[in-house]
Amino acid sequence: MNEEQAFISIKDKIFEKKKLDVNQYKENYLKRRLAVRMRSLQILTYSGYLSLILGNEAEYDLLLDKLTINVTEFFRDTEVFNELEQAILPEIMRAPGRSGPLKVWSAGCSTGEEPYSIAMVIEETAERLGVLNPEYEIYATDLDPAALQKAFIGSFEGRTLNNVAAARKKRFFSQAGGTFLVSERLKAHIKFIRLNLMEKYKENFFEIVFCRNVIIYFTRELQKTVLTHYYDSLKPDGILFLGKTETMLQDLRDRFRCINIKERIFKKI
Ligand SMILES: C[S@@+](CC[C@H](N)C(=O)[O-])C[C@H]1O[C@@H](n2cnc3c(N)ncnc32)[C@H](O)[C@@H]1O
C-alpha cells in the first residue's frame, strides 16, 4: 500500500470507528494535525500509523484530540464583545414586542470561555437596560467531549483570566487559591451539548449564533453546509458572529448582510 492509500485508509477507519467524516476538514489541516500525533509517537509514515490504529482502539480518541484545536480565551477579540454589549444586545433587548428568553448558540464553544463571556455580557447589558432577572439560554456545543467536560465544570486557572476585568472576576467567579470557579448564576443559563457541526442541529429560533474560529478548518463545501444551518437556525434578523479571519461565502451573501466588517458580524436577511 502506498502512502496516499494509507492516508485514505486512516480517514476511512476514523469514519468507521468514530462516525466523523474527516474528509470535510481541509486536507492541509488534517495532514498537519495527523503529523503532530505521528511525531509524538515517532512514526514517520501513514502506513506505520495505519498499522498502529488497526490494533489500538484508544488511539482514535488521542488522534481526535489532536484534530480538535481547543485554543480559546475569555473575551477573545475584546472588540467583538464590546459590539455585542454596545450595539447588538441593546437592539435585540429593546425590540418592540419581543418576549421569551434570549436564545444564543455558541457553536464550537471549546472549554467554555466563549459562552461564559457571552453570559457575563448579557447579565451586564440587561442590568444597564434595567432588566432585573434577564431570561436567556445559551446552547454551547462542541465535538470534543473532554473540552465540554472542562467547560461544564467551569474551573479556570487565574492566568487564563487575563482579559476578565477585576469587577467581572469579583461578580461572576468565586476564587479558591489560584483557581476561579464560574458562578452558579451564569452556569444556570448555559447548556453544554456534544454536537458535530457536520450534522444539522434540531434547535432553532436563535437570536444570536457565535461560531468563531471553527469553520476556518472546514472545506468550502462544509462551510456552506454549516453557514446554511446557521441561516435556518436563526430567527429573522438574527445575528451571526464569525471569527476575525473567517469570511462569509460569496454564495450566501444574499442570506446574510454584513453589519460590521471588522468584527465579522452578519445579520440574517
Ligand atoms: C479554536 S476552537 C474555537 C473556540 C471558540 N469558538 C473561540 O473562538 O475561542 C475550535 C473548536 O471547534 C471544535 N470543532 C472542530 N470540529 C468540529 C465539528 N466538526 N463539530 C463541532 N465542533 C468542532 C473543536 O473541538 C474546538 O473546540
Same domain? For 187 and 256 the reply is yes
The domain total for the chain is 2
SS3 11: helix
Q: Is the dihedral of CA 257, 75, 152, 247 positive or negative?
A: positive
Render pLDDT for 72-128 as a digit per residue (tens, 0 to 9).
999 999 999 999 999 999 999 999 888 899 999 999 999 999 999 999 999 999 999
Q: What is the pLDDT of residue 153?
A: 98
Q: What is the pLDDT of residue 55?
A: 86
Q: What is the pLDDT of residue 225?
A: 97
Render pLDDT for 167-216 as a digit per residue (tens, 0 to 9).
999 999 999 999 999 999 999 999 999 999 999 999 999 999 999 999 99
Same domain? For 61 and 82 the reply is no
120 occurs within a structural domain: yes
Same domain? For 113 and 243 the reply is yes
Same domain? For 147 and 256 the reply is yes
Q: What is the pLDDT of residue 191?
A: 98
Q: Quickly state the pLDDT bin for 43 (edges 50, 70, 90).
A: very high
Q: Residue 182: CB partners within 8 Å, gap ≥ 6?
A: 112, 116, 154, 155, 156, 172, 173
Q: Cα(164) to centroid of ligand 1, in Å?
A: 21
Mean pLDDT of the chain: 96
- In this structure, the residue with its CA closest to atom 25 of ligand 1 is 68
Whole-angstrom distance, CA of residue 71 vs CA of residue 61: 18
Q: Cα(71) to centroid of ligand 1, in Å?
A: 9
How far is C-alpha 93 from the chain's CA centre? 24
18 occurs within a structural domain: yes
Q: Which residues of 34-49 are buried (b: 16+ CB within 10 A; e: fewer)?
A: beebbeeeebeebbeb
Q: Which of ligand 1's atoms lies nearest the C-alpha of 73?
A: 9
Q: Which of ligand 1's atoms lies nearest the C-alpha of 198?
A: 19
Q: Cα(107) to centroid of ligand 1, in Å?
A: 7
Same domain? For 130 and 261 the reply is yes
Q: Which of ligand 1's atoms lies nearest the C-alpha of 72?
A: 9
Q: Which of ligand 1's atoms lies nearest the C-alpha of 147?
A: 27
Render pLDDT for 137-177 as a digit per residue (tens, 0 to 9).
999 999 999 999 999 999 999 999 999 999 999 999 999 99
Render pLDDT for 199-212 as a digit per residue (tens, 0 to 9).
999 999 999 999 99
Q: Cα(99) to centroid of ligand 1, in Å?
A: 31
Backbone angles phi, psi at 240, to 5 degrees: -120, 130
Cβ atoms of 38 and 49 within 8 Å: the answer is yes
Q: Which of 67, 98, 114 is the last residue of a domain?
A: 67
Q: What is the pLDDT of residue 173?
A: 98
Q: Which of 67, 99, 121 is the last residue of a domain?
A: 67
Same domain? For 147 and 257 the reply is yes
Q: What is the pLDDT of residue 1?
A: 81
Please determine, for residue 132, whether its predicted confidence score (pLDDT) is greater than 90: no
Same domain? For 109 and 47 the reply is no
Q: Cα(187) to centroid of ligand 1, in Å?
A: 20
Q: Cα(72) to centroid of ligand 1, in Å?
A: 9
73 occurs within a structural domain: no
- Structural domain boundaries enclosing 49: 3-67
Whole-angstrom distance, CA of residue 109 vs CA of residue 118: 11
CA-nearest of 72, 131, 132 to 106 is: 72
Q: Cα(70) to centroid of ligand 1, in Å?
A: 6
Same domain? For 46 and 164 the reply is no
- In this structure, the residue with its CA closest to atom 8 of ligand 1 is 212
229 occurs within a structural domain: yes
Same domain? For 194 and 122 the reply is yes
Same domain? For 244 and 121 the reply is yes
98 occurs within a structural domain: yes
Q: What is the pLDDT of residue 97?
A: 86
Provide the CATH number for the domain around residue 181.
3.40.50.150
Render pLDDT for 1-37 as a digit per residue (tens, 0 to 9).
899 999 999 999 999 999 999 999 999 999 999 999 9
Same domain? For 114 and 183 the reply is yes
Q: What is the pLDDT of residue 224?
A: 97
49 occurs within a structural domain: yes
Same domain? For 53 and 109 the reply is no
Q: Which residues line ligand 1 (CB under 6 A)?
A: 68-72, 76, 108-110, 114, 142-144, 147, 195-198, 212-214, 243
Q: Of all residues in the chain, what percent are helix, strand and coil, respectively (each to 5)?
A: 50, 20, 30
Q: What's the burial of 100, exposed, middle or buried (CB within 10 Å: 0-12/13-18/19+)?
A: exposed
Whole-angstrom distance, CA of residue 210 vs CA of residue 188: 19
Residue 132 neighbours by CB distance under 10 Å = 6
Q: Which of 14, 36, 67 is the last residue of a domain?
A: 67
Q: What is the pLDDT of residue 98?
A: 85
